[in-house]
Structure 1
């Protein structure tokens, strides 16, 4: 008998974690970190609703922390099986998981100063940077479209999800009473015609589908309109002698913005001006993007062929050190 249990990202956004049970075999789709109020976050992420040592394999959809961020925790609590992902997801996890540990460490340094003064027991992070690095190294990469054996009579393969670099949908093939059952898991789906990445693949011949619905009730406008609006804002600010500050996530959004800015510069839609990327994590993630052109769409490949890297034109300056960041603020 096949059983499916939802333990995260159901009636909430973060903490994606879905358990597939086939006879006595257990497979986990994603192992994401719940992100909310501090106390609730630590309690939820530390208390798995099953015995981690009884799970035999984990299949990841992508490298966002709400989908992969609790992997070091489950390993610390007895999980010993493989963790599967695409190659690009593995490379991103090697950055994202240690960064998650670093953020926890810095947050708790601040919190524990107060707790010590109040004679309270200090909080411990879910995992250390070293534990996060070790967990990421254990991830087993797989190619898109090729079945890999998860054990317990379950095989899986990845399809492109178009959400972030390396993001994937998962198809599980399970033998049950002489029949083959296919279960699809979308992970987080990207939109069509987004910059940089190929459009999401389509799933066929699926018996059961686990589908995300974060933007299920919202229609997005054309991507080109967003680029035109960005150019309008930059030009208006530039004429007033101001500076445009664009807050973006380090993974995917930052690279999309850099790509669009470079196209706007080359198309003479905005004047040449310095662009500062003030984020060491963004810089490291951008290097991972350069390694994985297999994820890029035709427009991106054509841009690279004609203009070299879309992330490293003359106007872009990266700040990796604290003093460089402070200089930008001044």
Structure 2
């Protein structure tokens, strides 16, 4: 029994791990690399293993850094089952198809330039049609449902509390009469986050593969987060400016809408026009509304009492390009939620172009910003940004609200590991080097356990 690590090793995107047991090959995650141009370029690389020898694929949740290269598996010859939670199946129907559309669009744009130069044309990473074909291989499961996915491999998904349908993956692996339990954290949610339940507490494992995104820091408390949000909205109102919120279309967008409803009177939101300027965000919100069976207790009560979590009297759903362009004509009184969450693409870039040079505008950063992204540059205090070749001065106030993360912070990660009664060895993944190193030292000091910081192509034998 062994696990090979092919992604999200000392970085936070491109999750990909190969579990080998009983002559079976199970791929755990198939994520896209995101962030810098160099990272994105590697998405076109061939997989570092024989795709045709895979027996099954498991994905923990729908974010593209965990699912975004699945259509490439199909292109290279995999035609087996892809196991995940039912809500993740619904989200992937949106996200993978949208990803295929973006890859086609980017290839067309690039080929126009190449045709003029007489250069060789490029192919999209995958197409919309290829993404749609991939969806036919998804097999949805409920939480806590054990399933033998192939000989010697039993799968159970537990609630990770990160986004709707996100899962902790429990694998019971059997070889030569010996069974071992491997627990993969997936992306662990932030305790007491809106809508979703807290991450499931697992009591036993022989090996834990654990994310470390925020292994080096603590989040602000939820109370302080809401207070800061209210203060920013009040200040923006007095300054007669707009508020731009680059938000991940799955998870963060729904949390924002939910909290806007909870604080509608307190934050005097009836004085604003609120725009969800994201076709995919609108579809994802519908998926959240569909899966009320996995809400936390408070969200269940809100849903029953108010006939929905996200209905606001001044919320405008912007699906068309024409509608989005009209929003750019508003100089004051608009709260605009748009993707992408790291400002690397999508409609938020257009809203930045029309607002970020204004001194009375505000930009709320409410999620992780990977190195090399425009969002990270704004967080780091850049004075100018470049959009479509035009340099634009940053005069808007940029606020980073760290408490709004969908990932557990350092204490949350340590608390989750604390629940393992036998204190199993840990392999850290899905974290930048500094965060991973600090979390490793904390785990070693507090629990006296063996901690490995996974590196690319590292092979780890499951302890017998």
Same-fold status (TM-score > 0.5): yes
* Counterpart residue number, 2:95: 96
Maintained 8 Å contact 1:33/1:45 = no
Q: Report SS of the residue matched to 1:170.
A: strand
Q: Tell me the CA shift for residue 29 of structure 1.
A: 0.5
Corresponding position: 1:233 with 2:239: no
Distance in 2 between residues matched to 1:164 and 1:271, nearest whole Å: 25
Distance 1:292 1:271, change over 3 A: closer
* Counterpart residue number, 2:174: 175
5 Å-filtered alignment, 1:148-159, equals: 148-159=147-158
Q: Report SS of the residue matched to 1:299.
A: helix
The answer for unaligned runs of 5 or more in structure 1 is none
**What's the RMSD between the two structures over aligned residues?**
1.4
* Counterpart residue number, 2:242: 243
Maintained 8 Å contact 2:22/2:175 = no
* Counterpart residue number, 2:12: 13
Q: Tell me the CA shift for residue 249 of structure 1.
A: 0.9
Q: Report SS of the residue matched to 2:130.
A: helix
- Most deviating of 193-202 and 44-53: 44-53
Maintained 8 Å contact 1:46/1:126 = no
Maintained 8 Å contact 1:63/1:92 = yes
Q: Report SS of the residue matched to 2:302.
A: helix
5 Å-filtered alignment, 1:39-188, equals: 41-188=40-187
Q: Tell me the CA shift for residue 134 of structure 1.
A: 1.7
CA-to-partner distance for each residue in 1:205-254, whole Å, 9 max, x for gaps? 20001111111111111122111111111111112222212111110101
CA-to-partner distance for each residue in 1:271-303, whole Å, 9 max, x for gaps? 412211111111111111111012211111121
CA-to-partner distance for each residue in 1:134-161, whole Å, 9 max, x for gaps? 2123200011111111113111100011
User: Greater relative contact order: 1 or 2 (C-alpha under 8 angstroms, separation 6 or more)?
Assistant: 2
5 Å-filtered alignment, 1:283-302, equals: 283-302=282-301
* Counterpart residue number, 1:321: 320
Distance in 2 between residues matched to 1:224 and 1:88, nearest whole Å: 29
Distance in 2 between residues matched to 1:138 and 1:225, nearest whole Å: 44
Distance in 2 between residues matched to 1:20 and 1:274, nearest whole Å: 49
Q: Report SS of the residue matched to 2:263.
A: helix
Q: Tell me the CA shift for residue 40 of structure 1.
A: 5.3
Q: Tell me the CA shift for residue 42 of structure 1.
A: 4.2
Corresponding position: 1:204 with 2:235: no
- Most deviating of 199-208 and 99-108: 99-108
Corresponding position: 1:270 with 2:268: yes
Q: How many pairs were matched up?
A: 328
CA-to-partner distance for each residue in 1:115-145, whole Å, 9 max, x for gaps? 2222211111121101101212320001111
* Counterpart residue number, 1:219: 218
Q: Report SS of the residue matched to 1:211.
A: strand
Distance 1:6 1:222, change over 3 A: same
Maintained 8 Å contact 1:170/1:187 = yes
Q: Report SS of the residue matched to 1:96.
A: helix
User: What is the TM-score normalised by the length of structure 1?
Assistant: 0.96
Maintained 8 Å contact 2:26/2:57 = yes
Large movers: runs of 4+ above 6 Å: none
Maintained 8 Å contact 1:45/1:70 = no
Q: Tell me the CA shift for residue 37 of structure 1.
A: 4.4
Q: Tell me the CA shift for residue 261 of structure 1.
A: 1.0
